[in-house]
Amino acid sequence: MNSRPIGIFDSGVGGMTVLAEIAKELPNEDLIYLGDTKNFPYGDKSKENIIKISKKCVEFLISKNVKLVIIACGTATSQALEELRKEFNIPILGIISPTVESIKKSVKEKSKSIIGVIATEGTIRSNKWEQELKEKIEDITVINKACPLLAPMAEQGWTVNKVAKETIKEYMSVFKDKNIDKLILGCTHYPLFKGLIEKELGNGVEIINTGEKIAKAVTDYLNEQNANNDKTNNADCKIYLTDTECNFINVAEKLLKDESVKDKISKVNIE
Amino acid sequence: MNSRPIGIFDSGVGGMTVLAEIAKELPNEDLIYLGDTKNFPYGDKSKENIIKISKKCVEFLISKNVKLVIIACGTATSQALEELRKEFNIPILGIISPTVESIKKSVKEKSKSIIGVIATEGTIRSNKWEQELKEKIEDITVINKACPLLAPMAEQGWTVNKVAKETIKEYMSVFKDKNIDKLILGCTHYPLFKGLIEKELGNGVEIINTGEKIAKAVTDYLNEQNANNDKTNNADCKIYLTDTECNFINVAEKLLKDESVKDKISKVNIE
């Protein structure tokens, strides 16, 4: 048993899609969320810069006594996970490995799979998804597509309007007639566009929300380590933002279907 | 006479709209352009950060022996111009004052004017446009609108497609029935959307491209200082980018109607 909270960070509101899945899967766990809205967006920053700011995020979460850190951000996972693991002793989970492991289990032996990956410019450039998918799964074809407008659009709350619809249509056109089996949402902001993406790609394509996969990986990890929180009263959720002049609250309230998000938020300086 | 080049910087391709106007107005001047694509976008960065990176840009241009620095970026003008003037002796021009001066001349005495300003989140938050407009022009009403998606969209080359059209429609809706006389494009990326904006607002609204105003201000300045370049052969234009993995070339070629932009570009590290 371990009653310390789980720490989660992202550049903005995107990681709240991961928090939502973890809260659903592990209702007894206290959660601490850090949204580094001051440095948003991570998507087109240099690798060095992402490593630097991710370290600050992990340091902040450690100062809050978390038992585990989840990088709920595709860009930080692809560019900084290795460095963070070298720097800190605390267990750190990114969004790529749990997702690839889960896909590996679901892909039948000797069947050929075509997988689409959408993510930020920086994540696609790092090629981490393709590398890890090909390393772990035989006979797999990967089609990558950078979608640099989606995270800024989600931060602004434009996830179902006409602009979002046309943007999804434009970005998804690269997958037309490519017969993809699955589409990985390689940025945690993207589940906010899930409805539009499904509509555009049709029923034949499985849309993979990395938050669901991480939530399962965290459950397994806590069970293995016997590190669950066994409290039976309501779990606590605290949200820290590095800049509060943003649309975080609106988006987060819709996402969590919870109108009290505002009361959970504090502003923090991590520099 | 002064044959040293004019230095121009922006976070990306937006400032090329200013360069294009200066090249048209002052065909004898050598130009050096710095596009800080590595740090793009400036629009939602903190003021301290924008000051820090803008200083690096000015230092780089000074190392190229420029006679004058133009901040061809609305965000850097609104957040860093004052600090830069304190730090450096070289003359520095931003996009706000020349534009406000020009509007002041065109507004008839004792007529009431309603002016719209569109810009990045950071620029609107700084309130610099409204402050300077109200300081210099009597009886003026200012309506501000942050348009955080437009600069990323322009960098991606989406300036005339359906997404751009719907985005402009959405952002311009705030000016409907407000009877604005003029709309200031307070970010140098925005002239790339001029056609769509005009279509949306109709003929009654004058769209103000800050690049044209700066080009006139530079001409006046060089005349006053007797600092023109009197060479009669073709002027030189060099472009430096801090990151070349971007869509700069495509956008710049379309903008300048020049297919040799690529040959003018070098990559540079300013940190």
Q: Nearest residue of B to residue A242 by CA position? A: B46
C-alpha distance from B106 to closest chain A C-alpha (Å): 35
User: How far apart (Å, rounded) are the C-alpha atoms in residues A181 and A140?
Assistant: 11
Mean pLDDT (whole number) for B34-53:
87
DSSP, res A108:
P
Query: Could you tell me how far CA B61 lies from the centroid of its own chain?
Result: 17
Q: Could you tell me the pTM of the whole model?
A: 0.86
pLDDT in tens, B71-90: 999 999 999 999 999 999 99
CB-CB contact of A203 with A180 (8 Å): no
Size of interface A-B (CB pairs under 8 A): 49
Per-residue CA distances from A17 to A24, A206, A262 (Å): 11, 18, 17
CA atoms within 13 A on the CB side of B61: 34
Task: Find tokens 């200066």 and name the residue.
Answer: B22
Report d(CA B33, CA B17) in Å as an integer. 11
Q: Give yes or no for residue B234 having a pLDDT over 80.
A: no
Cβ atoms of A8 and A22 within 8 Å: the answer is yes
Mean pLDDT of the region B147-163: 92
Closest chain B residue to the Cα of A154, Cα to Cα? B149
Kindly list the residues of chain A whose beta carbon comes within 8 Å of any beta carbon in chain B: 38, 40-41, 44, 46, 125, 148-149, 152-153, 155-156, 158, 161-163, 166-167, 169-170, 243, 245
Residue A245 pLDDT level (bands cut at 50, 70, 90): low
Nearest CA in chain B to A170: B163
The ipTM (two decimal places) reads 0.80
Catalytic choice (A73, A147, A237, A246): A73
* Higher pLDDT among residues A49 and B7, named by residue: B7
Which chain A residues are closer than 8 Å to B149 by Cβ?
149, 152-153, 156, 158, 163
What DSSP assignment string belongs to A118-171?
Answer: EE-HHHHHHTHHHHHHHHHSTTEEEEEEE-TTHHHHHHTT-SSSHHHHHHHHHH
- Is-catalytic flag, A147? no
Interface of B to A at Cβ within 8 Å reads: 38, 40-41, 44, 46, 125, 148-149, 152-153, 155-156, 158, 161-163, 166-167, 169-170, 243, 245
Q: Give the residue-averaged pLDDT of A167-183.
A: 95
How does pLDDT run across A64-96, given as a tens digit for each residue?
A: 999 999 999 999 999 999 999 999 999 999 999
Shortest distance between the Cα of A158 and any Cα of chain B, in A, equals 10
Look at residue A246 in the predicted model and tell me its pLDDT: 67
What are the angstrom distances between the C-alpha of A73 and each of A96, A190, B124?
10, 11, 28
State mean pLDDT over A192-208. 95
How far apart are the C-alpha atoms of A78 and A186, rounded to whole Å? 10
Instruction: Check pLDDT > 80 for residue A270.
Output: yes
Flag whether pLDDT at B102 surpasses 90. yes
Peptide bond into A98 cis (omega under 30): no
Question: Given a cut of 90, is residue B118 above it in pLDDT?
Answer: yes
- The alpha-carbon gap from B221 to the nearest alpha carbon of chain A, in Å, equals 37
Determine whether the interchain pair B161/A170 forms a contact, defined as Cβ–Cβ distance below 8 Å.
yes
Structure tokens at A8: 């989660």
- The tens digit of pLDDT for each residue in B240-255 reads 999 876 678 888 888 8
Which residues, including other chains, have CB under 8 Å from residue B199's CB and lie 6 or more apart? none
A156 contact residues in B (CB cutoff 8 A): 148-149
So what's the pLDDT on residue B246?
A: 67
- The DSSP result for B6-42, as a single string, is EEEEESSSTTHHHHHHHHHH-TT--EEEEE-TTS---
